Amino acid sequence: MTPTTGTYAVKLTVLAIGALLLFAPFLFQDVRSLEVAARICIFIVLVASYDLLIGYTGIVSFAHTMFFGFGAYGAAILLKSMGPGWTPVILGGIAGVAVSLVMAVAIGLLSLRVKAIFFAMITLAAASVVLVLTSQLSQLTGGEDGITYRAPDLFKPATKILTDADGKVLRLWGVAFNGKLAAYYFVFVTSLILFLLMLRFTASPLGTVLKAIRENEARAEAIGYRVVAYRTFVFCLSATFASIAGTIYAVWLKYTGPDTSLSFAIMIDILLMVVIGGMGTMWGAVIGAVLLILAQYYLRDLMGAASEALHGIPVLPELLAADRWLFWLGIIFILLVYFFPKGIAGTAMAGGARR
Amino acid sequence: MSQLTQTLTRLGGVNLLPVALALVAFVLIGAPSSWVTLTVAGLAMGMMVFLMASGLSLVFGLMDVLNFGHSAFVSFGAFVGATVLAGLSGWLASDSVALETLALVLALLAAILFGLVAGWFFETVIIRPVYRDHLRQILITMGAMIVAEQTILAFWGGSPYTVYRPRFLEGSWIIGDVSIEIYRAFAFLLGLAVFIALYIVLNRTRIGLLVRAGVENREMVEALGFRVDRLFIGVFMVGSALAALGGAMWAGYETLITPSLGGELMIIVFIVVIIGGLGSIEGTLLGAILVGLMSNYLGFLAPKMALASNMILMVAILLWRPNGLRPAVK
């Protein structure tokens, strides 16, 4: 397949996003922007790992936040009980991955043999049970309130990474080299590594087999590939990535609760990001995650203003209220699935093909 | 062993499962009065869930369409019914049973009517373009569910909404030391009536014959010259109307409803449809009653387990019969 102009455009955009994220602490010097940037990094990994499932293999799972939550809660519970440090983070991450793998294998073997639609329903049921259990087992998980804990000492805002001649925190272009910055770069670098690993995986022979299964299951089976085994494998793989992303998010937020890691709202966000960005291209995950998170943080303000402006007209202000942004995204989502099923990245990449 | 199997099959096969469950629960619970109360509660819950699930199951059986937005009809039904009841609260406050009944009937009819119209709209606008494409179906109906839930939030707000119900359905009958909530009995009877009506339509009329034939083999029915797609709109509308009716009944049962009601019930509805086997209303009824009984018994015996009970039931049944208890699609 010869690269099209569109492909270059998409890759350049992704590269630009990567550069912006790399220099985010220097470019946008307020707390909220850094929060947005870190969230974008983590969601890129989460959405890309979901794309492995939905885009590359064509299976729809609603249990992705469950795995994300396992990773987050693994780190959170251990950080709370063992105190801040690297050991609980690593152990928690491993525990999260282990639980995720067990669940993924169980769900996969039980239900990947049946139709895609059954799988979607079963994962939905499993995820909801985990969500309910989490809010009930409050001794372990903190229930609805979640768990607050301290991150490793390196990431404390008071930690000095670099000092100047006076022994104070070194400032470069107004940015203090403190623990907050270290935490951001921890998130950025691990997310980048995870993303590159997934990118490498999709280009591998294994990734090609998955695409073959997505395109024509019967033919792939006939050539001699064991479809169920491959599907279960990719389900486990994506669960692992999601779980690690959860651990990183837990370390960054210093708080883990159902709303930040397990809720169905996050699952819907992931779904929207994958479809809006473009299924079946890792690049789409990046674009989708960036667009949606920016919308989440900044569209609300815009809509709140619009709602104020339209005060007095029936219904419209309510539909434009800041909390109703999901309404509009839902409509955009439906229209995209109808008219541009490949999403932004997929459509753009196909765009330059006509010569 | 084989003789035992034969006897069991003659007695009703898998239909005996709820009876067996009830008997086991009877032994475990011990107290007959609480057992009766729990059984009635379970049957009532099962019947309401059956109303919600039957449409989903038939729609899938007939056209291979799984509607993840089905829960939107349930929520809308609940809110439309509750709004009509609130609007007629003057009638409910009056002492006349006739006016109260009329208010109730009007509320349920409003929910049904809304379900019919919304079902028609949903089928033609949302689902028609994505027949035979499971991935996009799941995505689109999911998107529609988001939009529907947000619409409810915009109109009714996020705070819990109180549902008025007619006074003659309040309270409970006390027979000996057994107490039965009247609303539960009413829900059970209504569900039973709907099931019997559906059963007769499906098994005794020409339309029903076509629906069953379409579930079995759509291509063949189309080849014989019948327009299965038109039939499908009808089934979809009826299914949505039943879901809305189920939602309205559930609103009266809960008396305090929030917009997330549909989403919460959807999990149970899915489990019921999977357990029962897609495409058959008998299977759906069986699954609904099993789930209803199971969650009520376990809620009494081991409250912590109750949360996971439906999931355990589903896993157990899928391991035993991967296509559900009574699948219509062979």
Asked if B150 lies within 8 A of A337 by C-beta distance, the reply is no
Asked if A120 lies within 8 A of B310 by C-beta distance, the reply is no
Joined together, the tokens standing for residue B19 give: 């009876």
Higher pLDDT, B177 or B297: B297
Q: In terms of residue numbers, what domain contains B116?
A: 17-320
Minimal Cα–Cα distance from B208 to chain A, Å?
A: 26
DSSP-assigned letters across all residues of A195-262: HHHHHHHHHSHHHHHHHHHHH-HHHHHHHT--HHHHHHHHHHHHHHHHHHHHHHHHHHHSEE-HHHHT
Q: Is the pTM of this model over 0.95?
A: no
Residue B275, pLDDT > 80, answer yes
Does residue A97 lie in a domain region? Answer: yes
Does residue B1 lie in a domain region? Answer: no
Asked if B153 lies within 8 A of A324 by C-beta distance, the reply is yes
In a 3-state reduction of DSSP, which class is residue A172? strand
Mutate to test the interface with A, among B128, B140, B266, B329 (most CBs of A within 10 A): B140
Joined together, the tokens standing for residue A184 give: 């951001």
Does residue B138 lie in a domain region? Answer: yes
pLDDT for B113: 92
Does residue A7 lie in a domain region? Answer: no
Does residue A208 lie in a domain region? Answer: yes
Is residue A253 exposed (0-12), middle (13-18) or buried (19+ Cβ within 10 Å)?
Answer: buried
Q: How far is CA A299 from the centre of its chain?
A: 19
CATH number of the domain that A191 lies in? 1.10.3470
Asked if B147 lies within 8 A of A133 by C-beta distance, the reply is no
> What is each CA distance from A97 to A73, A241, A245, B150, in whole angstroms?
11, 8, 10, 34
Residue B199, pLDDT > 50, answer yes
> What is each CA distance from A40 to A70, A240, B12, B200, in whole angstroms?
20, 19, 57, 56
* Structural domains in chain B (count): 1
Over range B240-269, report the average pLDDT.
85
Does residue A6 lie in a domain region? Answer: no
Residues with Cβ < 8 Å from A342, sequence gap 6 or more?
A278, A279, A280, A349, A350
Question: What percentage of chain B reaches a pLDDT higher than 70?
Answer: 95
Distance (Å, whole) CA B133 – CA B140? 11
Q: Where does the pLDDT of residue B220 fall: very low under 50, low under 70, confident under 90, or very high at 90 and above?
A: confident
In a 3-state reduction of DSSP, which class is residue A62? coil
Top mean-pLDDT range of A164-168, A227-231, B34-38, B190-194: B190-194
pLDDT for B330: 46
* Structural domains in chain A (count): 1
> For the ranges A50-54, A269-273, B166-170, B197-201, which has the lowest average pLDDT?
B166-170
Does residue B99 lie in a domain region? Answer: yes
Measured between beta carbons, the chain A residues lying within 8 angstroms of B128 are: none
Joined together, the tokens standing for residue B137 give: 């179906």
Q: Where does the pLDDT of residue B267 fall: very low under 50, low under 70, confident under 90, or very high at 90 and above?
A: confident
Minimal Cα–Cα distance from A31 to chain B, Å?
A: 30
Rg of chain B, C-alpha, whole Å: 20
Distance (Å, whole) CA B141 – CA A297? 26
CATH number of the domain that B242 lies in? 1.10.3470
Residue B39, pLDDT > 60, answer yes
Minimal Cα–Cα distance from B287 to chain A, Å?
A: 15
Binding-site residues on chain B for chain A (CB distance < 8 A): 60, 66, 68, 126, 129-130, 134-136, 138-140, 142-144, 146-147, 150-151, 153-155, 158, 263, 266-267, 270-271, 273-274, 304, 307-308, 310-311, 314-315, 318-319, 322
Question: What does the pLDDT look like over B62-118, one tens digit per residue?
Answer: 777 778 888 888 998 988 988 888 887 777 777 777 787 888 888 889 989 999 999
Joined together, the tokens standing for residue B133 give: 């494409």
Residues with Cβ < 8 Å from A306, sequence gap 6 or more?
A320
Distance (Å, whole) CA B120 – CA B133? 20
Does residue A4 lie in a domain region? Answer: no
Measured between beta carbons, the chain A residues lying within 8 angstroms of B154 are: 315, 318-319, 321, 324, 327
Q: In terms of residue numbers, what domain contains A214?
A: 13-351
| Mean pLDDT over the full length of chain B | 82
Measured between beta carbons, the chain A residues lying within 8 angstroms of B130 are: 337-338
Over range B36-46, report the average pLDDT.
87
Taking CA–CA distances from A127, the nearest residue in chain B reads: B267
pLDDT for A117: 67
pLDDT for A161: 63
Q: Please, are residues A93 and A256 in contact by the beta-carbon 8 Å criterion?
A: no
Residue with tokens 């007209």: A313
Does residue A1 lie in a domain region? Answer: no
Does residue A2 lie in a domain region? Answer: no
Does residue B3 lie in a domain region? Answer: no
Residue with tokens 């058959």: B280
Minimal Cα–Cα distance from B272 to chain A, Å?
A: 11
pLDDT for B196: 92
Asked if A275 lies within 8 A of B322 by C-beta distance, the reply is no
In tens digits, chain A (355 residues) has pLDDT values of 556 777 777 778 778 887 777 777 777 777 778 888 888 899 999 999 998 888 888 788 888 889 998 988 888 888 888 777 778 888 888 888 898 899 888 888 777 666 666 778 788 888 888 888 887 777 777 777 777 777 776 676 666 666 666 666 666 666 666 777 788 888 889 889 999 998 888 888 888 888 888 888 888 888 888 888 888 888 899 999 999 998 888 888 888 878 888 888 888 888 888 888 888 878 888 888 888 888 877 777 777 677 666 666 656 666 666 667 778 878 888 888 888 777 777 777 776 554 4
Q: Strands of A7-103 (E only): list them.
A: none
Does residue A272 lie in a domain region? Answer: yes
pLDDT for B217: 81
DSSP-assigned letters across all residues of B286-315: HHHHHHHHHHHHHHHH-HHHHHHHHHHHHH
Asked if B310 lies within 8 A of A124 by C-beta distance, the reply is no
